Structures are given as C-alpha cells and as structure tokens.
Structure 1
Amino acid sequence: MLCKIFSTIILAAGKGRRMCSNIPKVLHRIGGKFVLQYVIDTAIRVGSKDIYVVYSDDYGKNILKDTLGAQNNFVDWVLQNPVCGTGHAVNQVLSFLSDDIDILILYGDVPFVSPYTLRKLFDAKPVGGVSLLTAFLRKNSGYGRIIRQNGKVSNIIEDSDLTEDQKDIHEVNTGVMVVTGRDLKRWVNCIKCVNANREFYLTDIIHMAWLEDCTVNTVFPKDNNEVSGVNNKLQLVELERIYQKKQAEFLLSNGVFLSDIYRFSLRGKLYHGDDVYIDVNVVIEGTVCLGNRVNIGIGCILKNSVVYDDVVIYPYSLIDGVKISSHSIVGPFARLRAGSELGSESVIGNFVELKNTRLGEKSKINHVSYMGDADIGNMVNIGAGVISCNYDGFDKHKTVIDDNAFVGADSQLVAPVTIGAGAKIGAGTTVTRDVLPDEMIISRVRQFPITSWKRILKKDNGD
C-alpha cells in the first residue's frame, strides 16, 4: 500500500463491439472473476482513497453498476453518455477530484497491472509532471505509439492516426498514468476532437504537458502480460491461460502436484495441505480447502467445499458446498450438492447423488442412489438404486436413518420417515412409515409364474 493519498479513475465505458456480445466486455470473466473486478481490487490494494468507475448504459441498462455495485459499495459509479473517448470519460469525473492529490488512471479491460508496477509509477511521477506506463511490444498494432524528441516523451499518436514511419515505433502507450488533479483538470478541459475517430483522446494531455515543458517519466511493467487488454474473445481466452498458468505454477511451487499445468482451472481460492495430488481437467471454484494427502481424479469439479486429510475423489465427480471428512472415498461420477456432509471413512460410489444430506462415519452408498434432505447415522449401508422421496410437489421432507441400519437395493424411502438403529429394509421395499429399531421389513409384489405363457417367435421377413 502506498503512503500517499490519491484517487483512482477506472475507464470502463468501452462498447466492446469486437467481443460480439451483449455483455459489456469488462463483465466477462477470467479465472471466474469479472475482468473489471481485478482492476478495482488492484486499486484497493495500492490504497486508493477514492475509486471512480466510468461506465456507459449503451445496452439500455446499467448492467455494469447493477452487477458489481452491491459488492463494491465504496466505488463511485460515473455515467458517460454518450461515449466520446477517454478524454470525455475522464471529464465526467473532474468535478469530484481534489486539486492537490495525484490521480491514477486505469482501464477496466486491462486486468493484470500489478501493485508493484503501480508503486513504481507513483515513485516515478515528477513534480508538476506525469508518469506514464509504457511497454515495448513486437506486435504493436492497435496501440498508441510513444513519440520522443531528444529522448523525452513529447506526444502519443493513436494507431488510427499514425503515419507509415510511426507505425514502426514499438514503444506503446498502455493508457495507465499518474497526474496531479489540478493539471489533469486543466489539460482535459483543453482536449480537442481532431482525429480520425472523432473522439476526445486522454492521450492528448501528454503533448500539452510537453508544450508546458513538464516532464513525462515512463515506467515499464515487469511483465508485458500486465498490460494486455481484452478486446475480443480470443484475447480473453489468452489472458485466461496466462492467469491459469500463473496459478498452477504458484501451487506447484507450494507443494501441490498438478499432473498438467495447462489442464487445470482455478476460479477462486484454493487452500491446501501437503502432498495434494490433482489430475488433469480439474476445476476449482469459489473457496476450496484441501487437507493433507487429498487425491483428486480426472475431470472433477470442486466448489466452495472443505475436504479433510486422506480423501480420495475419483474421476468426474462434482462437489459443491460440501464437507468431506478424513479417509473418505467419493466417486467416480458422484454428485454431492450443497449442504451435504460426509463423516470420516464414509464411501460414496459411482452415480450417487446427495443433497443437503449428512452421511455418518463408515457409512456407505456405493451405487446409483439419491439421498436428499437426509440424516444418515454411522455404519449404515444403503444398497444400489435406493432413493429418498423427499419432495411432495410443495415441500421438502426429511429422512432419518439411524446407526447400523441396512437399506436393501431399489428401496424407496417416502419422507418424512425414520428408520431406527439396526433396522433392515428388504430389497425393493417402499417405506411409507417409520421403522422401529432392529425391525426388519419388506414390501414387494409376490412373484408367481404365468403357466399359460408361450413365447411368440418373430417371423423372418428377409430384411
């Protein structure tokens, strides 16, 4: 965090036509997080006193403010309408700014500028001048070029206004800068609309500073990926891969084994113990905590869950809002939904679904079953094809299965119902009343032969 007091303007009113989407480009996601939210969070991390986000309502609604406003109630949202360029966008904020503090200008579609780089930018700002973030790029198409005279920055020419000679300049403008409020107000109010796009360019203030003999110092990012922006879906995907590779490398350096750093997605936060193994195509969403020696198989999705030590999750299982205690086994192809909790040494097998269900210690549901709104005790065995009928079309009802009970295959438990400790349910039973402890019940249609039945053979029609 910087010690000095400053305000931040984030320009986020771009129409994003090249995204070919009705969603504003800064509301697309990288790593499960809105592009604009990265920029807001960075402004917070470096200690901005005020944050102003300039947005537009070109989509007929205040989509941006409606989506992010509640979780960023400290942000001042400033509407730009119509959208007439970056200079016009900053002009909408001028009346809110203090004269005597520095103003940091960021872009809502450039998510990865680091706090380290921004601290360098503040350190480089001269008194009465500007500090500007630039970069040297081989692929410089689309960027404004830095014009220097005798080594000093004198101007920025936008890509659409370049001469043929200027197109060969590889030092480009990122748009990120620091300028004192008083100077920013004076210069922005003098911007003219004289360019190919008929817009008011914020970059024109650099030439104004040079004409006043004000110093413009430049700073380069540590990594050029910091200044990569999102203008189309290809760039969005490229930044996603950059982000995911960085997360994977960090996890590997801290002891998590990822079988392939290019086939792992972290869309939130992952906390972990030692000797965690994660196979390919695993997705982590929200906040996930993994204990020691957790093994996650191919294609699993874990979201907002806690997994304790020595748990094995077999391939293609979906874990969402669940607590799994130590030495348990899940999957393959299991779905554990919000509110479910597994006791230690429990087993959830293939094609089993739980919803809002507690499964006790050493209890097992091995095959093709559904348990919803259930409280299952310890040492319970639930056979293949068992379901809790928890919904009557209006309300959800609870199923309780006490310790050491045994539920035979293909049984239906019509909630609300309680199965007592040690009770045994015969296969194919529909349970509609409470079962007493140690009671054994069965309800199925009696099997009998049809003696007059004869098989009719299909005639061969030559097909």
Structure 2
Amino acid sequence: MTQTHIFHDLPIPDPPTTARPLDVVILAAGAGTRMRSQLPKMLHEVCGRPMVAWAVKTAHDLGARDIVVVTGHGAAQVEAALARSGVRFARQDQQLGTGHAFLLGAAELRGDADVLVLYGDSPMLSAETLNAMRRLHTREANALTVLTSELPDASGYGRIVRGEGGQVERIVEQKAASPAQLRLTEFNSGVYLMDARAPDLAAHIGNDNAAGEYYLTDLLALYRGQGSRVAAFKIPDPSEVMGANDRVQLAELARLMQRRINERHMRAGVTLRDPATSYIEDTVTIAPDVVIEPGAVLRGHTEIASGTVIGAYSHLTDSRLAANVQVKPHSVLDGAVVGENSDVGPFARLRPGTVLEEGVHVGNFVEVKNSHLASGVKAGHLAYLGDASIGAESNIGAGTITANFDGLGKHRTEIGAGVFVGSNATLIAPLKLGDAAFVAGGSTVSADVPEGAMALGRGVQRNIEGWSLRYWRKLAAAKSEGQLARKLPWLSGWLTRQE
C-alpha cells in the first residue's frame, strides 16, 4: 500500500518563551494486532496522513530540534513512509515496554534539551495544546509535566494521584489501583515533557513487575526521588489524546479529525453545504468563498481558488483549480490543472497531466488524459481526449475519440486553434489538424489535415430501396399473425399500406 509523505504548511503556534531547545521522542513500535491488518498500525491513515505522520507534523510545528521515532513492528515500512520527514529512527526489536522504547529513542538525542514523549497512534494532539503545556512547564519550573485529562469512567488508564499543591505524587496503573483510586477520573495520557535529565534517569527504570517490562511511568518516582517538581497539565477535551487500537477507534479518530479540518476551513470563509459528508484531507488548500457541495472528496495537494464550486459527490486529488471554476456533480479530477471560469462535468473525468486553460468547457461523460486544452475549448459530451493538445476556441463533437494507443506506445494528437471536429469522429494518432480545420461527423481521420481544410473520412452512403418491406414480409411468413400483432402492433398496418 502506497503511503504519502505529506507535511503541509499550516500556521505554526508561537512556542513558549524558553531558552531551552526541545527534542521529541515518538513511540511507534506497537504491533496493533487488533487492527487485523498486514499494514503496520502506525501507517493506518487518518484524513490523508498515516497516524505516525501526524505526530511527526506536530513535533515539527513545535519547532523541535531533534525528532526520533522509535519503530518496532513493521519498522522498515514505517521508516520508509517517514524517510523524507526530517526524523531519525531507533528500533525496538524486543517489545520490553515504554520505558525501554524511550531509552532507545533518547540514546539518539544530543542532550541538553527538554524532552517530549509523544505516541504514533495519537494524531489528535495539537501543537497549540502542547505549547500551552510547555508554557506551564517553564513557568512552574517543573522537572516533569504529565499531560492528563478526565473521563467519567477512566477504565483502562493509569490514574493520577495528586498531593499537596496539586503536584503529582504517582501514577497508579489500573490493575494495581485500590477501589478508591479506581474512582479517580483524572487519567494519564502517557505524554510527558521532561528536563534534560530524562535519558539518564530512564536508565534506572526497573522491570520488577508482573509483565517484566520497563514502564515510562516509573520516571515520575525517579524525579520525585531527587526532590524535583512533578506536575500535571490537564486538558478539557480527552479526545485530544485518543489513540486507535482497532478499526472502530480509527474511524472515530477520523471523524474527529475531519470535523476539526472542516471547521478550520469554514472559519476561514469556505462554505460546506453539509460538513458531515465533506471529506477534506489536511493537505488541501481552499480559498475563501469556495462552495463545497455534499459528498465531495478532496485529497492530497489539491488547491482551490476563490469563487469555485465543487459539485456534490465529486472527487478531487492533487489538482489545482483557479478562480470561479464550476465542478459539476460526480466528476473525478486527478492531477489536473483547471483555469479560471472553466466548467467540468457532470460525470467528467480529468486524469493526470490534464491542463485546462481559461474558459474551457468539459461536459458530461468526457474523459481527458495528459492533454492541454487552450482557452475556450469545448468538449460537450461523450468524448475521450488522450495525449492531445487542442488550440483555442476549438470544438470537439460528441462521441469523438483520440485513438492514441497502437498496442505498443502512446501517440499525440495536435489540434490547432478554431478547429471544428464533428460528432463521432475518430482521430488516429499521431495526427495534426491545422488551424480552422473541419472534420466531418462520423469520419475516421488518420492523415494530417492542413489549415482551413475539411477532412471527410467515411464510407459513401448507399440506400437500398424496398429492403424493409422484403425483410418484414419474410419475417411475417415465419410467424403467426397473432404473434406479430402482439409484439409489433404497428407492423401489420404498415405492411397493409405497402400493398
């Protein structure tokens, strides 16, 4: 499965006022067996990015100096997907716990920086939230700050036990909690911001527990053992730290992320007729005063300029649309460029390499591939234009095709300006039609047409008088009169009139 490498430029929140650099360790070694997939868990996508790529993007938005991704299950695939994202990798070949994974990642850091721990399967955590956490961490001179939230039922999470002054005394795991502690609603997200001592302290984490694993939560006790301040940064929305362990949770993450993306566009001046059915990936750029009709899908590096309308159930991928374009319902654009005041569809398909200049009309059931249509070109319906260049103001009739493939290679059709191609023409490439040329409807054209000439490439019509009468009389002789009357009630009257 192909994975995209996308790190889109969005407004980056201002970092907190601190002289200390920030390093980030992203834990992404989990197997994700409940996904029931051959694809590594971290590469399952949420709104156009693999889950782990969201964590990398957040780290970049925070201005992180070093970013280390700890990989394990499907390590080669995860590392390939992030190869161009400006991160380094550490491999956890044995799954010995979060403390062990952090220690492997921290070994790749230069040191002398605050260290933030993130998770590769928690894409909702925003840079805004983490910058607020950094400001608290700096203002209170914390050695360790843990990100927490509250749930009415925090089952499955470690509980936060606070002491005097709101400091965190310890984190109690679910299976080790007392009945009173199980009633606590504040839970540990697993996201930590720590000072530069964290890698050295992590080396002292033990595995004296039932699972024999090294838990990152033990860092809290190690910091407190040195008399350092440990605090919590509690956020109001627990969905920000939501992870995905199966497809149901993955779908819920996608729903939440899509709502966040759609709200961002609407607040920036985009009209979504039905936000609940608009799928827009994070990497899509949309200008104010664009209208998106219900069911539209916008993916990849699609860019849409002001005044454009995207019709219902249209699907756009990696396409650039200029101002005041009309994409009518059920159209598919993939890798296309569409000029100002053009219209596409309904039920049109623009494949990679398609360029429409200003004021081009591509109508219903027209497919265009690797072709350049100059300004004012019209292809109203039922046509295939592949590997072609078409000059300004030319008209392509219904049913016209460019026969561009000879079984071995593709060939181009070059059509000049002001050319009129009649309906049901077949243009056999390689072929050139000069400016102001005409192609008669129904023609098959295999030789170049000079400027201003008309090509007529169809057989001579021959009318055979009386053919129908002989045909139907022969058929009538083989059928009973009742059969014919039932099936073709007009026929008996017509035959009578011919006598």
**Which TM-score band (shorter chain)?**
over 0.9
**Cα distance between partner residues in 1 of 2:111 and 2:328:** 60
Does the 8 Å contact 1:145/1:173 carry over to 2? Answer: yes
The SS at the match of 2:302 is strand
Return 250-259 or 142-151, whichever deviates more.
142-151
**Which residue identity lines up with residue 188 of structure 2 in the other structure?**
N
Return 16-25 or 124-133, whichever deviates more.
124-133
**Cα distance between partner residues in 1 of 2:106 and 2:412:** 59
- Residue 46 of structure 1 pairs with residue 62 of structure 2: yes
Does the 8 Å contact 1:188/1:202 carry over to 2? Answer: no
**Cα distance between partner residues in 2 of 1:243 and 1:277:** 20
Q: Which structure 1 residue ranges, 5 or more long, are not aligned?
A: none
CA RMSD of aligned residues (A): 2.3
Q: CA offsets, 1:220-244, max 9 Å, x none?
A: 2353332111222112111211111
- Residue 175 of structure 1 pairs with residue 187 of structure 2: no
Q: CA offsets, 1:392-437, max 9 Å, x none?
A: 2222211011111111111111111011112111121111100112
Does the 8 Å contact 2:48/2:283 carry over to 1? Answer: no
- Residue 339 of structure 1 pairs with residue 356 of structure 2: no
**Cα distance between partner residues in 2 of 1:326 and 1:219:** 49
**Cα distance between partner residues in 2 of 1:94 and 1:85:** 14
CA apart distance, 1:376:
0.5
Give the direction of change, closer, same or farther, for the CA distance of 1:249–1:122 in structure 2 (3 Å limit): closer
TM-score (structure 1 length as normaliser): 0.92
What residue in structure 1 maps to residue 471 of structure 2? 454
CA apart distance, 1:270:
3.7
CA apart distance, 1:7:
1.6
Give the direction of change, closer, same or farther, for the CA distance of 1:342–1:160 in structure 2 (3 Å limit): same
Q: CA offsets, 1:68-113, max 9 Å, x none?
A: 22x12x3111000111210111122343345543211111111122
1:18-417 alignment runs, 5 A limit = 18-56=34-72, 58-59=73-74, 62-69=76-83, 71-72=84-85, 74-98=86-110, 100-125=112-137, 129-150=143-164, 151-195=166-210, 197-221=211-235, 223-417=237-431
Give the direction of change, closer, same or farther, for the CA distance of 1:91–1:289 in structure 2 (3 Å limit): closer
Query: Highest CA radius of gyration, 1 or 2?
Result: 2
What residue in structure 2 maps to residue 423 of structure 1? 437
- The share of aligned pairs that are identical, in percent, is 34
Does the 8 Å contact 1:188/1:205 carry over to 2? Answer: no
TM-score (structure 2 length as normaliser): 0.86
What residue in structure 1 maps to residue 449 of structure 2? 435
Give the direction of change, closer, same or farther, for the CA distance of 1:391–1:193 in structure 2 (3 Å limit): farther
Does the 8 Å contact 1:98/1:182 carry over to 2? Answer: no
Q: CA offsets, 1:223-272, max 9 Å, x none?
A: 33321112221121112111111222222222211101111111143434
CA apart distance, 1:179:
1.8
**Cα distance between partner residues in 1 of 2:413 and 2:390:** 8
What residue in structure 1 maps to residue 497 of structure 2? none
Give the direction of change, closer, same or farther, for the CA distance of 1:329–1:129 in structure 2 (3 Å limit): closer
Does the 8 Å contact 1:313/1:329 carry over to 2? Answer: yes
Q: Which structure 2 residue ranges, 5 or more long, are not aligned?
A: 1-14, 487-499
CA apart distance, 1:185:
2.1
Return 6-15 or 220-229, whichever deviates more.
220-229
Give the direction of change, closer, same or farther, for the CA distance of 1:310–1:124 in structure 2 (3 Å limit): closer
Give the direction of change, closer, same or farther, for the CA distance of 1:67–1:292 in structure 2 (3 Å limit): closer
CA apart distance, 1:43:
1.2
Does the 8 Å contact 1:8/1:48 carry over to 2? Answer: yes
CA apart distance, 1:128:
7.1
Give the direction of change, closer, same or farther, for the CA distance of 1:268–1:398 in structure 2 (3 Å limit): farther
The SS at the match of 2:450 is coil
Does the 8 Å contact 1:287/1:304 carry over to 2? Answer: yes
**Cα distance between partner residues in 1 of 2:141 and 2:290:** 52
**Cα distance between partner residues in 1 of 2:202 and 2:329:** 60
Larger helix fraction of residues: 2
Q: CA offsets, 1:117-156, max 9 Å, x none?
A: 2223333336573111111122422211112344532221
**Cα distance between partner residues in 2 of 1:134 and 1:273:** 36
The SS at the match of 1:53 is strand
**Cα distance between partner residues in 2 of 1:100 and 1:405:** 70
